[in-house]
Structure 1
Amino acid sequence: MTDLTVNISRCRLCADRFAATHTAHEPRPVVWFKPSARLLIAGQAPGMRVHKSGKPFDDPSGDRLRDWLGLSPSEFYDKSRVAVVPMAFCFPGYDAKGSDLPPPRICGTTWHDQVMQTLDKVELTVLVGGYAHKYHMGVKTGVTDTVRAWESHAPRLFPLPHPSWRNTGWLKKNPWFEENLLPKLRAQVQRVIHG
Structure 2
Amino acid sequence: MDLPDEIAACRHCAERFAATATAHLPRPVVWFRPGAPIVVASQAPGLRAHTSGKPFDDPSGVRLRDWMGVDGETFWNRDKVAIVPMGFCFPGYDIKGSDLPPPRICARMWRAAALDHVGSPKVTLLIGGYAQDWHLGKGRVTDRVRDWRSRAPGIFCLPHPSWRNTGWLRRHPWFEADTLPALRRAIKDALT
Q: Structure 2 length as normaliser, TM-score? A: 0.98
Q: How far off its partner does 1:181 sit?
A: 0.2
Q: How far off its partner does 1:149 sit?
A: 1.1
Name stretches of at least 5 consecutive residues in structure 2 with no aligned partner.
none
Aligned counterpart for 2:154 among listed residues 153, 156, 165: 156
2:179 is aligned with what amino acid? L
Separation (CA, whole Å) in 2 of partners of 1:163 and 1:121: 24
Q: How far off its partner does 1:119 sit?
A: 1.8
1:94 is aligned with what amino acid? Y
Question: Corresponding residue for 2:65?
Answer: 66
Separation (CA, whole Å) in 2 of partners of 1:17 and 1:125: 30
Question: Corresponding residue for 1:103?
Answer: 102
User: How do residues 78-97 of structure 1 correspond to structure 2 at under 5 angstroms?
Assistant: 78-97=77-96
SS for the counterpart of 2:145 is: helix
Q: How far off its partner does 1:121 sit?
A: 3.3
Q: Structure 1 length as normaliser, TM-score? A: 0.97
Aligned counterpart for 1:144 among listed residues 132, 142, 147: 142
Q: Which runs of 4+ in 1 moved over 6 A?
A: none
1:185 is aligned with what amino acid? L
CA offset digits 1:18-65 (Å, max 9, x no partner): 000000000000000000201000000000000000000000000000
User: How do residues 174-189 of structure 1 correspond to structure 2 at under 5 angstroms?
Assistant: 174-189=172-187
**Number of residues of Structure 1 aligned to a counterpart in Structure 2:** 192
Separation (CA, whole Å) in 2 of partners of 1:175 and 1:85: 28
User: How do residues 19-98 of structure 1 correspond to structure 2 at under 5 angstroms?
Assistant: 19-98=18-97
Taking only aligned residues, the RMSD between alpha carbons, in angstroms, comes to 0.8
